[in-house]
Structure 1
Amino acid sequence: MDLLTALRTHRIVAIVRGDDPDAALRTVLTLADEGLALIEVSLSGKDALDVIRRARAALGPTAPLGAGTVLTGADASAAEEAGADFVVTPAVCEGVSEAKRLGLPVLAGVMTPTDIVAAQRLGADAYKLFPAAQAGGPGYLKALSGPFPDAPFVPVGGVDAELARGYLAQGAIAVGVGSPLIGDAADSGTDGGGAEALRARARGFLDVVRLPTDSGR
């Protein structure tokens, strides 16, 4: 898949992580049904690889489906085998180089200018600014855009609707959203406030990322 084009087009990556594989799968399918085209299943969730396999079977071969929290080469290989067609890492790590060797596009986790240069050298397709909110919010992204004006940044970590607007206005090509979107929908013994609440949150974030921003990127 062309990850960079997909990020620029859809402008949001939904991050699903939970302790109930069945609930996580339902969450993935609900988000896809609401029109969230880019979904990442974090390998830190319970039985995440099986969730990816089942989601791939349900969504079909062409739907974008990512594996997140890919740290090692083994993680990248397992993600590909499960059916992921892009990977997301929390850092510049072995998972980036192995995913690229396998031909998978990578959203690589970065925080500092040094990280960005290292990720560029490994061939990362885009840069996951993580943890974004804790790093200083949209102002930090603006500062990074000075020395890296063409870098495709995707802020992740504590991104709610208000922050999503701010990051997109500062030139982010997309945002990654976890708990502010998912809530506890992917966890055992809960329904995330109900399927309709999850759908409402999804529609709310889609409204945000579809808004025009002041950025020319």
Structure 2
Amino acid sequence: MITVSAYRWVPEFAQGLVKDLRVRWALEEAGLPYREHLLEAGEKDAAAYRALQPFGQVPALRTEGLSLFESGAIVLHIAQQCEALMPHDAAGRARTTSWVFAALNSIEPAVDALGDTEGDEAWAVARRPAALAKVQMRLDQLQAWLGDKDYLEGRFTAGDLMMTTVLRNLRQTDIVADRPRLSAYVARCQARPAFGTALADHMRPFEATAA
């Protein structure tokens, strides 16, 4: 049985954004059953967990013969076993891999840098215009590539899964909403039944803790 680590609780602003959601979504798309391992307070720093995830983060994935960390690596591993996430042909597999890396290397750092400028500190206010300009440039480039296509490569792949989870980090802004094709793309990806199931399972521990 596949086991995926996740946090039992995170602050409200992070709920729906923690990266175990990526892995849950990929497993749902692949039709692979799994169980969750919810980390208790302090467990992420324990030696047993650091043996699975050297940096004490989530997610980590375990099966009988393999343990993996880093959400991008885990999603690619799942995708390689599932045509719903990665085409069988060599070119399609390579293009899917490229888009997973693009989400993580070309888009996410800019999104994270903008998030780092939230707040009223002088340094944050000073950096925000440049950080915002960088995100807007990247999303304009992404929207230009998307054009009239439903998905980045014409059909849904792990690249779309990863890109959507990165763009969700802008949900408290109008940056995606101001780009109609990109906004429709994110909505289309989030309308997939596998995403709805994954999000509900991701949120359940937080809702239970709140109750």
Q: Structures share a fold, TM > 0.5?
A: no
Scaled by the length of structure 2, what TM-score is found? 0.30
Rg (Cα) greater in structure: 2
Name the structure with the higher helix share. Answer: 2
Name the structure with the higher strand share. Answer: 1
Scaled by the length of structure 1, what TM-score is found? 0.30
